[in-house]
Amino acid sequence: MTAVNRPAWTDNDEKAVAVARALAADAVQKVGNGHPGTAMSLAPVAYTLFQRFLRHDPTAPEWLGRDRFVLSCGHSSLTLYIQLFLSGYGLSLDDLKAFRTSGSLTPAHPEYGHTKGVEITTGPLGSGIASAVGMAMAARFEKGLFDPQSSTTLFDHNIWVIASDGDLQEGLSAEASSLAGTQELSNLIVIYDDNRISIEGDTHVSFTEDVSARYRSYGWHVIEVAALPDGNVDRSALEAAMVAAEAITNAPTLIRLKTVIAWPAPKARGTSKSHGSALGADEVAATKLALGLNPEESFIAPDDLIAHTRKVIERGQAARAAWEAEFVTWKAAHPEAASLLSRLQKKELPSNWADAIPTFGSDKEVATRAASGKIINAIAAVLPEFWGGSADLGESNNTTIEEGHSFLPATSAMKDADPYGRIIHFGIREHAMGAVLNGIALHGLTKAFGGTFLVFSDYMRGSVRLAALMDIPSTFVWTHDSIGVGEDGPTHQPVEHVAALRAIPNLAVIRPADANETAIAWREVIARRKPAGLILSRQNLPVVDRSSHQSAEGVAKGAYILKDGDGSADVILIATGSEVQYALGAQTLLASQGVKARVVSAPCVEWFNEQSDSYKESVLPSSIKARVSVEAGIALGWRELIGDAGVSVSLEHYGASASAAVLFKEYGFTAENVAAAALASIAKVGK
């Protein structure tokens, strides 16, 4: 893509870079902690990008036609903050002075939704570049929704990334970069800051491979840019590389840029100390002298220089105006696509869309993973923005959109390949799958999902946590949810995973009891637009007869009375997922002994906690102290709902290689054992 209005490089630009380096040193020096070195050496890189390549309008940070920028090395947040200040995104000099302090707009790591111009929360290394892959994939998929014939460039834009040695050491970046090469994401350009320094010193203590060769093997276009003899960035060569990268149409590009950390600090440059510590007053002053600045001044930002750097606003507004003019023409020529785009921008759903979601009869048993597969296809039929796949487990996770075609580049020789396909093949890359889903969600228009076995949620936990932290609608489908996996044994039988996922704030963990609960769960996930994980069974489960039990609509409130006994309950049985059937069986057994039990299905504790106190009291009356939780996993977390007199029917050890039926019986997941637990809880209350 051709960059917008690239003016001649002037002395003012040189001075702006010098000021950016000094601001980085001053900000860390003032607060006494942080990462000055990378922000100093990357100043000319970030300045060149924001002033000369990035298509953006600082007055309209949500502009649909903008390029995206991802600072994968989030610890160098000043690299971004200083450019946001210079470009006119609303950050002030006082904000830079407040770096890493409470309540500031300049926290230690960039935070999505907190500071204008920050596209993604970064800090955990590797996550930024991996999510950038998702952004690049989303851009291509959206192109297919709005301009599959490539009649316009309105929906073409680049994803720019600055990444560090640490980013490329993380396995997450390798997973995602391999996928990006397979996908030939030519709209993805990564500038790799190869400064060979980390906290422990020279990265060659642990990182000696030929990174360029590795990325070429992934299918990337690689451009190497050496440093100048004095160690400074060769900005002219970098710019030439960036121009070349924009012209590549069949591969993502890695620009391997040699830098010297903390350049031009006389003593700190090239040292590990400059990576994560303030330089010290004397070194900051000496650096300013080397930059031609007044060493007696701090936070230098002359008005005339700021006026120069903020001319990028005029260029950005001109680019946006031209884009808007073309957009008007496109809308008139493509009313259906324009209507879809308008709906997606407003984050609306079609009227009556949920009518497409199937209901299931109670005449046969259905695994919730199988029910989910039917629901996914029903949703896909009415929501063209809905797409996804799995980490090489499509047949097992039931995450394949039928006739959706495989999301693969046009050059792929694979069957069913379509650059705008709806089936994502993530490969066996769970962590990258999570990060890619985050990138797709952040890109803003479409709704994607990704599946794997629940036990492998461990591999992707970092990405799941970031989704929850950013509060973005990433949807995770985790099947094979318990010892119900059976013969595959303890390595594949999750025990602690549901509890561990519930420990992540702002993540809805949903474990439906049957096919109809799964349907309502999916409906809520789509409508709520929040981070969520669906926990689904491998084995078939009874479909509850709703003519004699409460409606599955109760799922929307997280927990609900599935079936009451006659009269006031003596004990409450709270169960999730495949274990709800045992609670219902126990209710019948207890009734034969004159004990009245209430069965509560609690597919999503997080949604239940959101309800009013009156609703929660209606489901779990405080007057009923005898309670039992039933879940085929560790009991951690259930005491909050069952109280001191409660008893948990749980699994506090690993499983074994045997059939699901044998394991459930052997480990006490039976109606008889749940009934015994209920009597034990009643006895505890009576003491």
Answer with the one of 259, 289, 317 that is the final residue of a domain. 317
- Which of 4-8, 52-56, 170-174, 415-419 has the weakest average pLDDT? 4-8
- 682 and 570 co-located in one domain: yes
Asked whether residue 62 falls in the same domain as residue 193, the answer is yes
Distance (Å, rounded) from C-alpha 242 to C-alpha 255? Answer: 8
What distances in angstroms separate CA 494 from CA 77, 637, 671, one per listed residue?
Answer: 37, 16, 22
Q: Which of 493, 515, 541 delimits the end of a domain?
A: 541
From the CA atom positions of the chain, what is the Rg in Å?
28
In a domain, 2, yes or no: no
Angle between helices 335-345 and 127-146 (to 10 degrees): 150
d(C-alpha 321, C-alpha 280), whole Å: 46
Helix extents (H) in 42-164: 43-48, 77-87, 93-97, 127-146
User: For residue 259, is pLDDT > 70?
Assistant: yes
Each residue of 592-650: pLDDT tens digit? 999 999 999 999 999 999 999 999 999 999 999 999 999 999 999 999 999 999 999 99
Burial class (CB in 10 A: 0-12, 13-18, 19+), 281: exposed
Based on the fold, state whether residues 414 and 302 are members of the same structural domain: no
How deeply is 312 buried, as exposed, middle or buried, from its count of CB atoms within 10 A (0-12, 13-18, 19+)? buried
Tell me, yes or no, whether 624 and 644 share the same domain: yes
What's the whole-number mean pLDDT along residues 537-541? 98
Give buried/exposed letters for 577-589 (b at 16+ CB in 10 A, else e): bbbbbbbbbbbeb
User: How many angstroms separate the CA atoms of 631 and 658, rounded?
Assistant: 19
Say if residues 80 and 35 touch (Cβ distance below 8 Å).
no
Q: Would you say residue 687 has pLDDT above 80?
A: no
Residue 118 within a domain: yes
Q: Are 239 and 388 in a shared domain?
A: no
Q: Let me know if residue 537 belongs to a domain.
A: yes
Residue 566: band (very low, low, confident or very high) from pLDDT cuts 50, 70, 90: confident
Q: What CATH number is attached to the domain comprising 637?
A: 3.40.50.920
DSSP letter at 286 equals H
| Residue 221 forms part of a structural domain | yes
Strands (E), 336-422: 366-367, 386-390, 406-407, 417-418
Residue 606 has which token pair? 């997080």
pLDDT-derived band at 1 (thresholds 50, 70, 90) equals: very low
The answer to whether residue 430 is catalytic is yes
Distances, alpha carbon 666 to alpha carbons 134, 414, 669, in Å: 44, 46, 8
Q: Is 503 helix (H, G, I), strand (E, B) or coil?
A: coil
Q: Helix, strand, or coil here: 223?
A: strand
Shared domain check, 527 and 459: yes
Q: Work out the pLDDT band at 2, boundaries 50, 70, 90.
A: very low
Same domain, 600 and 574: yes
Please report whether residue 329 resides in a domain. Answer: no
Select from 606, 583, 605, 587 the least CA-distant residue to 596.
587
Maximum CA extent, the chain? 90
Residue the block writes with tokens 């297919």: 144
CATH number, domain containing residue 485: 3.40.50.970
Q: First CA to last CA across the chain, in angstroms?
A: 76
Give the model's pLDDT for residue 6: 87
Q: Rounded to an integer, what is the distance from CA 673 to the centroid of its chain? A: 40
Domain for residue 5, yes or no? Answer: no
Same domain, 60 and 106: yes
Residue 38 main-chain phi, psi, to 5 deg? -65, -40
pLDDT at 358 over 90: yes
- Residue 358 CA to residue 27 CA, distance in Å, equals 57
Instruction: Output phi, psi for 615, to 5 deg.
Output: -65, -45
- Sheet containing strand 188-194, edge to edge, reads 68-71, 159-164, 188-194, 253-258, 221-225
Are 500 and 584 within one domain? no
Q: What is the mean pLDDT of the chain?
A: 97
Nearest to 454 by CA among 608, 580, 632, 605: 632
CA angle 593, 599, 602 (to 5 degrees): 155
Distances (CA, A) of 595 to 145, 397, 549, 587, 598: 58, 40, 19, 8, 10
- Residue 599: DSSP 8-state: E
pLDDT at 5: 61
Per the structure, the complete domain to which residue 627 belongs is given by 553-686
For residue 203, is it within any domain?
A: yes
Q: Are residues 365 and 395 in the same domain?
A: yes
Per-residue pLDDT of 155-170, as tens digits, reads 999 999 999 999 999 9
pLDDT exceeds cutoff 50 at 3: no
Residue 508 β-bridge partners: 532
State whether 152 and 221 are in the same domain. yes
Same domain (yes/no): 524, 594: no
633: tokens are: 């996993």
Instruction: State the DSSP code for 49.
Output: I
Q: Coil, helix or strand for 465?
A: helix
- Given 430, 524, 579, 631, which residue is catalytic? 430
- DSSP tag of 487: G
Locate 379 and state its tokens: 């949703």
> What's the domain count of the chain?
3
Residue 535, pLDDT > 90, answer yes
Nearest to 569 by CA among 596, 595, 600: 596
Name the domain boundary from 302, 317, 332.
Answer: 317
For residue 618, the tally of other CB atoms under 10 A from its CB is 12
Distance (Å) of CA 198 to CA 88, 124, 170, 511: 32, 14, 13, 42
Residue 328 lies in a domain: no
